């Protein structure tokens, strides 16, 4: 998929947003959803998506929606840091297949990092245990400000 194209509402995040596929939610409001990545690159890997935009990439998103989304990323990253006390955080966002994007609904990754734990590859991590994801989501949600 290129950097530009038609939005496919049947992408996995579109299905999650509609409730067609379950997710482990960290928090949500009427504009944003933060949920656990089921193929985490690290313990506590959270995804943040817009509920209102059909932008596939950062090049397409409406500026006011991007502002709201990036504030949600920051809020979520602070909660991840408080709940899990990682030594670092990677905040990533991929655009286009050549740029590493695998789901064509604009999203941000928040990946906690520790020096003694290697990060798994994007799109190559094994599927996580749902109960472990729920426990992490509860810890992160409790740390939200």
CATH of the domain at 89: 3.30.428.10
Q: How many domains, in total, are found in the chain?
A: 1
Q: Is residue 100 part of a domain?
A: yes
Structural domain for 46, as ranges: 12-142
Q: Is residue 7 part of a domain?
A: no
| 124 pLDDT above the threshold of 90 | no
pTM over 0.85: yes
Mean pLDDT along residues 47-54: 97
Q: Is residue 27 part of a domain?
A: yes
Q: Is residue 5 part of a domain?
A: no
Instruction: Locate all alpha helices (DSSP H) within the chain, ordered by sequence.
Output: 12-18, 63-84, 130-142
The set of residues, in sequence order, having a beta carbon less than 8 Å from that of 18 and lying 6+ positions away, is none
Band (pLDDT 50/70/90 cuts) for residue 6 is very high
The set of residues, in sequence order, having a beta carbon less than 8 Å from that of 125 and lying 6+ positions away, is 39, 40, 41
Beta bridge partners, 34, equal 27, 48
Whether 45 is a known active-site residue: answer no
Residue-wise pLDDT for 75-110, tens only, equals 999 999 999 999 999 999 999 999 999 999 999 999
Beta bridge partners, 112, equal 89
Query: Is 42 in contact with 112 (CB distance < 8 Å)?
Result: yes
The Cα–Cα gap between 6 and 33 comes to 22
Selecting among 4, 107, 109, 122, the annotated active-site residue is: 107
Residue-wise pLDDT for 17-28, tens only, equals 999 999 999 999
């Amino acid at each position: 998929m290129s950097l530009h194209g038609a939005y496919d509402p049947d992408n996995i995040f579109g299905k999650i947003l509609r409730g067609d596929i379950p997710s482990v939610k960290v928090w949500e409001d009427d504009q944003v959803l933060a949920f656990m990545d089921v193929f985490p690159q690290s313990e506590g890997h959270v995804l943040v998506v817009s509920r209102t935009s059909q932008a596939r990439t950062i090049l397409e998103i409406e500026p006011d929606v991007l502002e709201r989304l990036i504030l949600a990323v920051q809020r979520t990253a602070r909660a991840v840091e408080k709940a899990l006390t990682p030594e670092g955080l990677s905040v990533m966002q991929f655009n286009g297949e050549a740029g590493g994007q695998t789901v064509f609904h604009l999203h941000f990754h928040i990946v906690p990092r520790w020096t003694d734990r290697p990060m798994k590859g994007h799109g190559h991590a094994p599927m996580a245990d749902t109960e472990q994801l729920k426990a992490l989501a509860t810890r992160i949600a409790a740390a939200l400000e």
